[in-house]
């Protein structure tokens, strides 16, 4: 078991009160697992990714634990987390193209980064060069400033740097969203290759694009309004989802081969609830076609199979 | 209805406009009434530039754009207003299309101010209400609200309603659903499908091939500013002839089909050469299907 998250609660402090961006999130991640984390904007997927590495000033750790490789992550303690960051947990940020310091050459920047972690740049340099070559970059980029590289190149540099110390867990936050179709594929396949080569043990790929994450993920977890609604192997989520929200979400995706004339895709009416004072019970019930009175109570987490859980009253095993 | 003939566009870039970048090269196509035409391509392929030229936001370097036979390429400012009655656009980011200081329905009011100043208040309000209903919005829920109080989907539909208040014939929709969530974007997409039944021509600009396939009858694939393949959607996506189109289709992530199931080697493509020479000509490879390939 690489990562076990239990009942994690992270709130955003605002003038009007706490926004419950993560409200009781529990899941497990096996060694070597690539988990896709999908959901609509505002469902808490980016917050979850950030919580596992660094809370920003507005975020507050309210409850719950995350245990990585049998050692608890001190989520609320920024200082204590520093020892785990980059060596155990690493992230490829959402705007990785702007993640590089524009005033430093790539090599210098890497040296600074490693020094902060007490590692020697000189020792790690051959490995760094080997990995850069693996993603199709030459050693020369170490002497370049970020501005001299194209968007796709910067993306690859960031990918190599984030995984240089072989972290146990890598969080990839919307890494493909800003890229073109062909670059998207290359980046996604590189993520898988990094796992296969053992550069990272397990990975959480945060995305809003289900069809992309389906290509590379072993399992997919769907979030809605700060909670987990369903987690299962990628094939199951796409082929036979059980939670009504997952079903509606899959049903709303157009595919190559599907035309407006043949079959009309259906959207999900309504919008997600406010997380400032979220309603009790199932948060999807306002938009759910199957909702009944029982859904006003918090739904149970149903274990449909060993690797398939959904939290819904209507799901039975 | 709307025709583009051998349209070119070069931008001046670099310090003091010292360099030229040719963004659109020799593009010709036509949109018929009641047709959704998709323009797909990767970033930098010139698709947005085409939309901007059709909307007369930027000038055309060479070639001509005609609306119902009338050449609008060299239209002066005075004729722009009449043109905008018939051609309107909606853009990618709904939140930056509105002024956050004003209520969102101001975009509808400005249409009245500049195009229908003589219309009576009650008549106009009735028309606004009918138009909002026709795009699937509840007038009570969206009128007199600020942009931040509405969702992206509502804002985009309100912009479409704004265009429909005019007697438009062509709507340029540039990535209008890229920023919307999966659960709501389909409403906006289906709305575009409804527009074609009203006889509107829609120029749908997108990078998402599956959306283009879902909504449009005809599709244009662009690369480096030139058209590489165009024709009926089923033919272009079902039987792509140009290597670039094949690469693009092989790279699109799809549900129910994994890349690893059918690994395809990407075909070698011609590099981006001198953009000022004419691109390879399109050849009719099938009925209503053209590709820029040799015989």
B158-190 residue pLDDT tens: 999 999 999 899 999 998 888 788 777 888 888
Q: Of the candidates A208, A215, A257, which has its C-beta nearest B258's C-beta?
A: A215
The chain-wide mean pLDDT, for chain A, equals 90
pLDDT score for A99 = 87
Contacting A residues, span 179-238, partner chain B, CB-CB under 8 Å: 180-182, 184-185, 188-189, 208-212, 214-215, 238
Q: Rounded to 10 degrees, what is the CA torsion of A232, A253, A247, A245?
A: 90
Q: Which helix (H) or strand (E) holds A8?
A: strand A3-14
**B119, B165 contact by CB (below 8 A):** no
Q: Measure the CA–CA gap between B52 and B205, rounded to whole angstroms.
A: 11
Q: Model's pTM, two decimal places?
A: 0.85
Sorted by where each starts, the structural domains of chain A and their CATH numbers stand as 3-88+167-311 (3.40.50.300)
d(CA B40, CA B203): 11
Q: Is B281 exposed, middle or buried (0-12, 13-18, 19+ CB in 10 A)?
A: exposed
Average pLDDT in the A118-140 region? 93
Check: CB of residue A282 under 8 Å from CB of residue A295: yes
CA dist., res. A256 & res. B95, Å (int): 29
* pLDDT value at A93 more than 90: no
For the segment A250-269, what is each residue's pLDDT rounded down to a tens digit?
A: 888 877 666 776 677 888 88
Mean pLDDT (whole number) for A104-112 = 94
Q: Do B42 and A182 touch (CB under 8 A)?
A: yes
Please give, rounded to a whole number of angstroms, the shortest distance from the CA of B21 to a CA of chain A.
18
Q: Mutating which of A181, A209, A283, A287 best tests the B interface, going by the most B Cβ atoms within 10 A?
A: A181
Residue A271 is given by DSSP the state -
Contact A249 B266 (CB under 8 A): no
Model confidence pLDDT, tens digit, residues A172-212: 988 887 777 878 888 899 999 999 999 999 999 998 888 88
Contact A260 B183 (CB under 8 A): no
What is the SS3 string spanning B224-274? Answer: CCEEEEEEEHHHHHHCCCCHHHHHHHHHCCECCECHHHCCCCCCCCCCCCC
CA pair distance A195, A173, nearest whole angstrom? 16
Provide the pLDDT for residue A258. 67
Phi, psi dihedrals of residue B233, rounded to the nearest 5°: -55, -45
Q: CA quadruple A108, A110, A112, A114: dihedral positive or negative? A: negative
Name the pairing type of β-strands B36-40 and B218-223: parallel
Q: To the nearest whole angstrom, how far is the Cα of A9 from the nearest Cα of chain B? A: 24
Residue ranges in chain A assigned as alpha helix (H): 45-51, 78-82, 106-116, 121-134, 151-162, 181-196, 210-216, 234-239, 244-251
The answer to whether the beta carbons of residues A221 and A228 sit under 8 Å apart is yes
The conformation of residue B51, written as its DSSP 8-state character, comes to H
Whole-angstrom distance, CA of residue B203 vs CA of residue B32 = 10
- What does the alpha-carbon distance between residue A211 and residue B254 come to, in Å, rounded to a whole number? 5
Q: Are B237 and A256 an interchain contact pair (Cβ–Cβ within 8 Å)?
A: yes
Q: How far is CA A91 from the centre of its chain?
A: 9
Q: Is A168 left (phi over 0), alpha (psi -120 to 50) or beta?
A: alpha
The pair of three-digit structure tokens given for residue A313, joined into one six-digit string: 């009253």
pLDDT of A310 reads: 95
Report in angstroms the alpha-carbon separations of A230 from A47, A158, A222, A299, B195.
18, 31, 5, 12, 37
Cβ separation A271–B214 shorter than 8 A: no
Higher pLDDT, B227 or A277: B227
Residue A41: band (very low, low, confident or very high) from pLDDT cuts 50, 70, 90: confident
Output the pLDDT for position A25.
94
Confidence (pLDDT) at A202 = 95
Residues of chain A numbered 75-114 and touching chain B (CB < 8 Å): none
- Topology of the domain covering B2-291: Rossmann fold (3.40.50)
Question: What is the predicted pLDDT for the residue at A143?
Answer: 94
Number of Cα atoms under 13 Å in the Cβ half of residue A68: 21
From chain A, pick out residues whose CB is under 8 angstroms from the CB of B214. 254-255, 258-260, 265
Using DSSP bridges, classify how beta strands B289-291 and B226-232 pair: parallel, antiparallel or unpaired: antiparallel
Greatest Cα pair distance, chain B, in angstroms, is: 64
Give CA A169 to chain center in angstroms: 11
Q: Residue A23: helix, strand or coil by DSSP?
A: strand
Tokens of B135: 């795009």
Whether A286 contacts A296, CB under 8 Å: no
How far is the C-alpha of A3 from the C-alpha of A55, rounded, in Å? 18
Nearest residue on chain B to A257, judged by CA atoms? B213
Residue A256: what pLDDT? 66
Print burial letters for A159-179: b (CB count within 10 Å at least 16), e (below 16).
bbbbbbbbbbbbbbbbbbeeb
Question: A289 in contact with B at a CB cutoff of 8 Å?
Answer: no
Chain B neighbors of A248, CB-CB under 8 A: 183
Q: Does A222 have pLDDT greater than 70?
A: yes
Q: Answer yes or no: are the C-beta atoms of B41 and B221 closer than 8 Å.
A: yes
Task: List chain B domain ranges.
Answer: 2-291
Q: Which residues of chain B have pLDDT under 70?
A: 75
Per-residue pLDDT at A261:
66
Question: B257 Cβ partners below 8 Å, 6+ apart?
Answer: none
Beta carbons within 8 Å of B291's beta carbon, 6+ residues apart:
B228, B229, B230, B241, B242, B245, B282, B283, B285
Among residues A198, A205, A206, A129, the alpha carbon closest in space to that of A161 is found at A129
Q: What is the pLDDT of residue A257?
A: 64
pLDDT tens-digit readout, A160-174:
999 999 999 999 988
Q: A134 and chain B: CB distance < 8 Å anywhere?
A: no
């Amino acid at each position: 078991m690489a990562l076990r998250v239990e009942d994690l609660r992270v709130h955003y402090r605002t003038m009007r009160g706490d926004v419950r961006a993560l409200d009781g999130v529990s899941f497990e991640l096996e060694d070597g697992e690539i988990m896709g984390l999908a959901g609509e904007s505002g469902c808490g997927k980016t917050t979850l990714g950030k919580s596992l590495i660094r809370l920003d000033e507005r975020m507050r750790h309210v409850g719950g634990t995350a245990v990585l490789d049998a050692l608890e992550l001190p989520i609320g303690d920024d200082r204590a987390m520093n020892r785990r960051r980059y060596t155990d947990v690493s992230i490829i940020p959402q705007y990785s193209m702007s993640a590089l310091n524009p005033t430093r050459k790539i090599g210098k920047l890497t040296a600074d980064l490693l020094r902060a972690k007490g590692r020697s740049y000189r020792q790690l340099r051959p490995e760094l060069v080997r990995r850069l070559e693996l993603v199709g970059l030459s050693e020369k980029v170490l002497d370049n400033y970020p501005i001299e590289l194209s968007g796709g190149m910067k993306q690859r540099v960031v990918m190599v740097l984030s995984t240089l110390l072989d972290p146990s867990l890598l969080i990839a936050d919307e890494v493909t969203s800003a890229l073109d179709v062909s670059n998207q594929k290359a980046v996604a396949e590189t993520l898988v290759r990094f796992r296969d080569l053992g550069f990272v043990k397990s990975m959480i790929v945060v995305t809003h694009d289900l069809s992309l994450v389906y290509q590379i993920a072993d399992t997919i977890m769907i979030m809605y309004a700060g909670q987990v609604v369903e987690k299962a192997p990628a094939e199951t989520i796409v082929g036979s989802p059980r939670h009504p929200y997952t079903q509606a979400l899959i049903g709303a995706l157009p595919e190559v081969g599907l035309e407006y004339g043949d079959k009309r895709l259906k959207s999900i009416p309504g919008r997600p609830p406010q997380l400032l004072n979220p309603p009790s019970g199932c948060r999807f019930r306002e938009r759910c076609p199957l909702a009944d009175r029982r859904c006003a109570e918090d739904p149970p987490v149903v274990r449909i199979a060993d690797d398939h859980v959904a939290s819904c009253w209507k799901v039975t095993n | 209805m709307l025709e583009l003939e051998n349209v070119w566009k070069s931008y001046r870039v670099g310090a003091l406009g010292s360099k030229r970048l040719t963004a659109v090269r020799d593009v010709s196509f036509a949109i018929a009434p009641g047709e959704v035409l998709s323009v797909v391509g990767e970033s930098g392929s010139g698709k947005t530039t085409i939309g901007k030229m059709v909307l007369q936001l930027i000038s055309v370097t060479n070639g001509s754009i005609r609306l119902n036979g009338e050449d609008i390429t060299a239209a002066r400012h005075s004729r722009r207003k009449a043109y905008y009655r018939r051609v309107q656009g909606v853009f990618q980011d709904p939140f930056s299309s509105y002024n956050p200081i004003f209520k969102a329905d101001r975009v509808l009011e400005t249409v009245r101010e500049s195009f229908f100043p003589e219309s009576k208040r009650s008549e106009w309000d009735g028309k606004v209400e009918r138009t909002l209903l026709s795009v699937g919005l509840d007038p009570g829920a969206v009128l007199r609200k600020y942009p931040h109080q509405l969702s992206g989907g509502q804002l985009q539909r309100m912009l479409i309603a704004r265009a429909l208040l005019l007697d438009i014939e062509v709507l340029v929709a540039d990535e209008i659903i890229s920023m919307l969530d999966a659960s709501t974007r389909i409403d906006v997409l289906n709305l575009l499908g409804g527009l074609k039944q009203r006889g509107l021509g829609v120029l749908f600009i997108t990078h998402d091939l599956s959306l283009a396939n879902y909504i449009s009858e005809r599709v244009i694939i662009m690369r480096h500013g030139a058209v590489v393949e165009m024709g009926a959607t089923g033919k272009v996506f079902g039987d792509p002839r140009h290597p670039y189109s094949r690469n693009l289709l092989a790279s699109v992530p799809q549900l129910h089909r994994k890349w690893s199931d059918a690994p395809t080697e990407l075909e070698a493509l011609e590099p981006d050469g001198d953009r000022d020479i004419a691109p390879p000509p399109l050849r009719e490879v099938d009925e209503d299907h053209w590709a820029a390939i040799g015989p």
